[in-house]
Amino acid sequence: MLLYATEAIDETLPQDVRDNSIKKRYEMRRQYIASSLGDPFEAVRRPAIQMYEDGNATEAIPILKNLAETSEPGLKAHACYSLAKAFQAAGMREETEYWFAQSAIESILRPSGEHLALYELSMMLFDDQNLKRALAYNQAVLESELESHYNIWIINSASSQLGIVNAVLLREKHQKKVSIIITIVISLLSLIFFATGLVAIRQAQKIKAADAEIRLMNHRLEEAGKIKEGYVFRYIILSSQYLRMVEDYRHGLRITLKEEGIEGLKKELRQNEIKNLNSRQFYAIFDETFLGIFPDFVSHVNSLLKEEARFQIKEGKELPTGLRILAAIKLGITDCGKIAEFLDCAVSSVYTHRSRMRHAAACAPEDFERLVTEA
């Protein structure tokens, strides 16, 4: 049920897959309720959940309210959350916000790393145009997920955070001057993706939001002194998402080529002068940011390698693939598949680079990557 629930909210999956996950979760819950639950708390809560999902919210509310008022402290957050969802199904907004808040309080008092109620509350406040509080609540959720590596919700929370930040910027645009560079970039992106249709416009909005968030994180890194590792991790997640969006745009060009031929593609390219939203710009930003945080990283790596295998990097030049792989490992990304996705290369290439560097180490090969992370 947790797997299907996770797929149902995963915005990276196609809508038909998400709809199918919702259906499977619904069927599984019906089987679960019909079986011997064994847990008195769930024996009350889950049938009540099914009631409001079946359209009988008014019958579920008193059951869940009694459960919320009588539950043990460790279960109260779940009961309050389910009660809030019942009120939401009944269209009672004020009561929904109140019980989401109660569930969030219980989750904070007894930390579990899960703040779904606080996330739901922030989205309702966002709908109410209470942007300042919505931003603060969503920021708290995102920071908690990053610290606890609660990867299921990181992308969704980050996406919501981008939407709220964008709304705040729009509200304050008459009080503050928007940077000339950002204005030009946003304008050009708007012009580029306007011609691609409704789907491309939606992608452009996400790219602009991701770009704004990257700039915001750069500023916080320089001015606010955030915890380095956690900040760079969040930077990489959003930047990788930015690159995937650009790949979606390239996919749109391939569709144009298939459906309209060379002439259609030429017309499309003539309308879009900025098409170099490529990985090179991203990696240049990554290199600069990473070396700004770890200025001695290259010299430390070279001290672990035999002289003939050491990296010779000129000032201002890009990092070679081998150093970028080690940089990813330094940031906690150790899986070859994830590194390959991040660097947009083959998994076999990552494996080959890692193996070659380990065998060229001046220390024991099995200790090389561990010592790299201790820089």
**Digit-coded pLDDT (tens) for 73-119:** 888 888 999 999 999 999 999 999 999 899 888 888 876 555 678 78
Nearest Cα to Cα of residue 48 among 69, 27, 33: 33
pLDDT averaged over the chain? 76
Concatenating the DSSP letter of every residue in 90-146 gives TT-HHHHHHHHHHHHHHHHHS--S--HHHHHHHHHHHHTT-HHHHHHHHHHHHHHHH
Domains, the chain, in order of start with CATH, read 2-146 (1.25.40.10), 180-277 (no CATH), 294-373 (no CATH)
pLDDT at 88: 92
Read off the pLDDT band of 20 (50, 70, 90).
Answer: very high
- Percent of the chain exceeding pLDDT 70 equals 66
Read off the pLDDT band of 220 (50, 70, 90).
Answer: very low
Concatenating the DSSP letter of every residue in 258-269 gives HHHHHHHHHHHH
185 pLDDT higher than 70: no
| Torsion, Cα of 157, 160, 162, 166 (10° steps) | -160
Q: Is 329 helix (H, G, I), strand (E, B) or coil?
A: helix
Q: Is 305 helix (H, G, I), strand (E, B) or coil?
A: strand
Residue for token digits 């144009």? Answer: 256
**Digit-coded pLDDT (tens) for 122-171:** 888 888 888 788 778 877 776 765 665 555 554 455 555 555 555 555 55
Q: Is 361 helix (H, G, I), strand (E, B) or coil?
A: strand
* CA atoms 172, 176, 182, 188: torsion sign: positive
**Mean pLDDT of the region 343-361:** 91
Read off the pLDDT band of 290 (50, 70, 90).
Answer: confident
pLDDT at 236: 64
